[in-house]
């Protein structure tokens, strides 16, 4: 199979990533998911599973698209906190702060 042709795809609202063509709105959603995950983890993060779902692709194909967007994959010996756990921690922290503020000054 040959790589997809970029110009006709761009005219139809797609971007070519090797053998895969992805709608531009999906590319935007992938970028948003990556930035949100990295921000929530305050650095390196676990690959967001939503990307595989958005693309309807395998993990390998999804990783290739993400790498084509300029993101790097790397191995780490430091445990990376999953985004879901970070979100729960932030909600718990916000709830604790709200309780403190209710009993004190506004």
Assess if residue 27 is contained within a domain. yes
Residue 102: the pLDDT is: 59
Residue 92: the pLDDT is: 59
- Residue 83 lies in domain: 23-103
Instruction: Indicate whether this model's pTM tops 0.85.
Output: no
Assess if residue 16 is contained within a domain. no
Assess if residue 73 is contained within a domain. yes
Assess if residue 1 is contained within a domain. no
Specify the number of domains making up the chain: 1
Where do the DSSP E strands lie in the chain? Answer: 14-17, 20-23
Assess if residue 44 is contained within a domain. yes
Residue 33: the pLDDT is: 92
Beta bridge partners of 65: none
Residue spans of the chain under pLDDT 70: 1-4, 76, 78-106
Assess if residue 15 is contained within a domain. no
Overall residue count recorded for the chain in this entry: 106
C-alpha 78/C-alpha 75 separation (Å) is 9
Assess if residue 88 is contained within a domain. yes
């Amino acid at each position: 199979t040959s790589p997809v042709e970029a110009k006709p795809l761009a005219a139809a609202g797609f971007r070519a990533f090797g053998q895969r063509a992805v709608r531009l709105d999906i590319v935007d959603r992938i970028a948003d998911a990556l930035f949100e995950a990295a921000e929530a983890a305050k650095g390196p993060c676990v690959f967001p599973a939503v990307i595989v779902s958005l693309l309807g692709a395998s993990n390998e194909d999804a990783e290739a698209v993400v790498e084509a967007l300029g993101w790097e994959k790397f191995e780490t010996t430091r445990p990376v906190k999953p985004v879901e756990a970070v979100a729960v921690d932030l909600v718990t922290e916000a709830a604790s702060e709200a309780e403190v503020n209710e009993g004190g000054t506004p």
